[in-house]
Amino acid sequence: GDTSKLGLENVGVAVNPKNSKISAKFEQTSVPNIYVIGDVMDGCPELTPVAIHAGKALSRRLFGGSNQAMDYRNICTTVFTPLEYGTVGYSEDEAIAEFGEESVTVYHKYFIPLEWSLSPSRGSHQGFCKAIVNKHTDKVLGLHYLGPNAGEVMQGFGTAMKLGCKFEDITETVGIHPTTAEEFTTLSITKESGEDAAASGC
């Protein structure tokens, strides 16, 4: 996010003094005819597909008559560590901060992926999935997953999140057995209940 050599001060573009990133709303900077996308935009995830998508959305608004803003909330992200982590939407803390603890329900589950159960070195490890849900509307605010193929699992749920899926939409979906993505369709234990979140057998 190094913007110091762009000469932004010469045209009056405001930057965040904490990180030198460019402040913007709907990719429009403090100077109306100057726009920003990608890693140098303050608050934007530093992901290449995000910059590409934001650029397309901006060009459609500027030249194609669109009024569709970039959705920076429902972006699927995966960390490709040995235990992969995937997420889309709000974190639990973000959801509580925005909607209030009394409005948020967290469903969670530990599980052992089939391929791990067949390996002596991984059979003792667990995967984990979590759905953050608005209590009043049943809308899914965020999904989180630890386990194999996190990117593949999250990509499909990303479309559902963009369409405003409800928790019932997920739990009423017939899962593909035996897959790890299926674990989301069988979520039933809430964090607030204090019950054991370990998955049972099929």
Helix and strand numbers, DSSP H then E, in the chain: 5, 5
Burial of 16 (0-12, 13-18, 19+ CB in 10 A): middle
Contact 23, 44 (CB under 8 A): no
Give the DSSP per-residue string, 131-190.
Answer: EEEETTT-BEEEEEEESTTHHHHHHHHHHHHHTT-BHHHHHTSPPPTT-SGGGGGG---B
For residue 178, give the nearest of 157, 147, 133, 142 by alpha carbon.
147
Coil/strand/helix, residue 53: helix
Which residue type occupies 171? T
Given the residues 53, 136, 144, 177, the one annotated as active site: 177
Contact 141, 90 (CB under 8 A): yes
Q: Is 53 a catalytic residue?
A: no
**H helical segments located in 6-146:** 48-63, 92-99, 114-117
Task: Give strand pairing partners of 130.
Answer: 108, 144
Catalytic residues: 177
